[in-house]
Amino acid sequence: METIVNKTRLSLIRGDITAQETDAIVNAANSSLMGGSGVDGAIHRAGGPQILEECKRIIAQIGHLPTGEAVITTGGNLKARHVIHTVGPVWHGGKSGEPQLLASSYRESLKLAVENGLKSISFPSISTGAFGYPLKEASKVAVGTVMEFLKADSSLEVVVFVLFDQATFAAYSQALQELAGL
C-alpha cells in the first residue's frame, strides 16, 4: 500500500527490515545501544560488528541515548548504508508521555536522515514489541507523525514502513487509510 505525501512516496510493506535497500533503516533500540532482541538483534546480526563498534563509540561520548532521540551509524554489511538508532518509549499505560515520545522517535530519525542528505529510509514498528505499546495506538502515532513531517519537508524521496507480521501490517494499513483518506 502506498501514497504520495507532498513529494515523498510513503509505502507500507510486510517484510524484514534488514533486507531493505533504502539509504537508512531505523533500529528500535534501547538506551544502551548495545543490541537486544527483536528488530535490534536482527539488525546487529545482519549488519555485523561494525555497527556495535560505532554504537560503543557514541555511548562513550553521550552515556546513554534518551528515549525519543536518535543517532546514526554505518550500516555495516547491510544493503542500507546507514542505521538510525532510536529509542521508543516503554508502554506504561499511556499517561507517561508515551505518544509524544513515540512521535519524537519518528521525527528525530527523519531529521537525521535529512541532515545527512539521505533520500530514503525504512522504519519498523517502534515500541510495539518488547516495549509493549498497543499496536493500534502506535500505528496512528507512527503514520501521523511521518505524514506531518513529510508535509513540511520534501527532501526525502521514499519512506517505507517495513512491518514484520500480518497484525502489524493490518494496523498500519488502517492508520494510513484513515489519515491519508485512501
Site residues for ligand AR6 per CB under 6 A: 16-18, 28-30, 36-40, 42, 88, 124-131, 162, 164-165, 168
Least Å from the CB of residue 130 to ligand AR6: 4
The smaller minimum CB distance to ligand AR6, of residues 100 and 154, is found at 100
Q: Could you tell me the CA-to-CA distances from 125 to 26, 152, 168 in Å, in that order?
A: 10, 22, 8
Nearer to ligand AR6, 56 or 151 (CB): 56
Q: Give catalytic status of residue 165 as yes or no.
A: no
Whichever of 37 and 154 has its CB closer to ligand AR6, that residue is 37
**Is 121 strand, coil or helix?**
strand
16, 40, 153, 165: which is the annotated catalytic residue?
A: 40
Identify which of 149, 169, 168 has the alpha carbon closest to the alpha carbon of residue 159: 149
Supply 132's cell numbers: 509493549
Q: Which of 109, 139, 110 is nearest to 125 (CA)?
A: 139
- Closest CA relative to residue 121, chosen from 36, 21, 49, 48: 21
Least distance from C-beta 73 to ligand AR6, angstroms? 15
Residues with active-site annotation: 40
